[in-house]
A and B are shown apart, each in its own frame.
Chain A
Amino acid sequence: MKAQEIVFYSLAALTIGSGLLAVTTRMIFRAAIFLLFSLIGIAGIYFWLEYEFIAAVQIIIYVGGIVVLIIFSIFLTQQAGTKLPPALEARKIFSGLACLAGFMLSWLLVKEHSFAASTVPPADTGVSSIGTMMLDVHKDGMALPFEVVSILLLAAMIGCIVIAMKTKT
C-alpha cells in the first residue's frame, strides 16, 4: 500500500468515524467537538485532492466560524455537562433502517456506474485563477453568482440582527 493510499484511508476513517460519533453521542459538547474533527477530515481530503484553496476555505469558515458559533450557542443555551435525553428506540431503529436502505441503494447505483476517466489536462486551481474567474463578466465568469451571494450574506446579517434583537417592552 502506497503512502498516498494510507493517508487517504486514514482521512476517510477520521471523517466517517467522528461523523458517526457526532450524531450518536449524548453529550452535546462532545458532539460539537466530533463534528469539528469530521470537518477537519474533509479539509484533509481537499488537501489530498490538491484543492488547497477549498481546503483553506473549509478550515477558515467551517472549523473557525461555524463550529465556534455552535459551541458559543451551546454555552448560551445548555448547561455544560448535562446529557441529552436518549432518543426513542423505535425512532432510532426506523431512521437507522431508512438511512441504511438509502445508503445501500445509492451505493449500488454508484458501484454499477463506471465513471469515464478524464483525459483533459487539469485546470489551474490556484487562488489567482479562481479569483480571476470569480470576478470575470464574460462567458465562464462567475461575477453574477458572486454578487447574488454577497446580497444573500447581507440579508442574512440583517436578518440575524433583527431576529436576535431584544424588543423594548
Chain B
Amino acid sequence: MYLTHILFISLALFFLGVYGFLTRRNLITMLMAVELMLNSVNLNFIAFNKYVWPGRLDGVFFTIFIIAIAAAEAAVAIAIIINLYRSFKSIDVEDADTLRY
C-alpha cells in the first residue's frame, strides 16, 4: 500500500526539518527547515485524504489553509529577519543577544 510509503516520505522530511532547525544558526536556513516541516504535514493530510477518507475533501481544505498560513508566516518572518539585519548587521541567532543579560 502506498500510504505507508508516503508516510515514510513525510516522516523523513519532518525530521530533516527538525534536524535543520536544531543545527542551523542562521535565521533564513531555520525558516527553510520550518517550511520543510510544514510541507511534510501537508503531504500527510493529502495522503490520508486520498487513501483513508476519499469520500470527503477535508484534507484538501486543511492543506489549502496551511499553505495560506505558511505564506503569511514566511512573509512576517522575513520582515522580522530584515529588520533584525538592520539593527545587528547579521542574521545569526547568536548575535541577537540584546535581551539576554
Question: Interface on A for B, CB 8 Å cutoff?
Answer: 8, 12, 15-16, 19-20, 22-24, 28, 31-32, 35, 38-39, 42, 45-46, 49-51, 53-54, 57-58, 61-62, 65-66, 69-70, 73-74, 76-78, 84-85, 87, 91-92, 95-96, 98-100, 102-103, 106-107, 110-111, 115-118, 120-123, 125, 129-130, 133-134, 140, 142, 145, 149, 152-153, 156-157, 159-160, 163-164
The interface size of chain B toward A, counting residues with CB under 8 Å, comes to 66
Q: Is the CB of A115 within 8 A of B51?
A: yes
* B43 and A16 contact, CB distance less than 8 A: no
How far does the alpha carbon of A153 sit from the alpha carbon of B52 in the complex, in Å?
31
Contact call B71/A66, Cβ cutoff below 8 A: yes
Question: A120: which B residues are within 8 A, CB to CB?
Answer: 53-55
Residues of B within 8 A of A98 (CB): 18, 22
- Shortest Cβ-Cβ A-B pairs, 9 listed: A23-B20, A95-B22, A156-B72, A120-B55, A122-B54, A160-B79, A99-B15, A163-B79, A99-B19
- Contact, CB under 8 Å: A51 / B50: yes
Q: Are A149 and B65 in contact (CB under 8 A)?
A: yes
Expressed in whole angstroms, the minimum distance between the Cβ of A17 and any Cβ of chain B is 10
B46 in contact with A51 (CB, 8 Å):
yes
CB <8 Å contact, A123 and B91: no
Verify if B99 is at the interface (C-beta below 8 Å from A): no
Most chain A CB neighbours (cut-off 10 Å) among B1, B47, B55, B75: B75
Whole-angstrom distance between the Cβ of A158 and the nearest chain B Cβ: 10
Can you report 29 residue pairs joining A to B where beta carbons are below 8 Å apart?
A: A12-B9, A23-B17, A23-B20, A28-B28, A45-B9, A49-B6, A51-B50, A54-B60, A66-B70, A70-B78, A76-B85, A77-B91, A78-B28, A92-B23, A102-B18, A117-B1, A118-B52, A120-B54, A122-B54, A130-B60, A130-B61, A133-B61, A134-B64, A142-B61, A149-B65, A152-B69, A157-B75, A159-B76, A164-B82
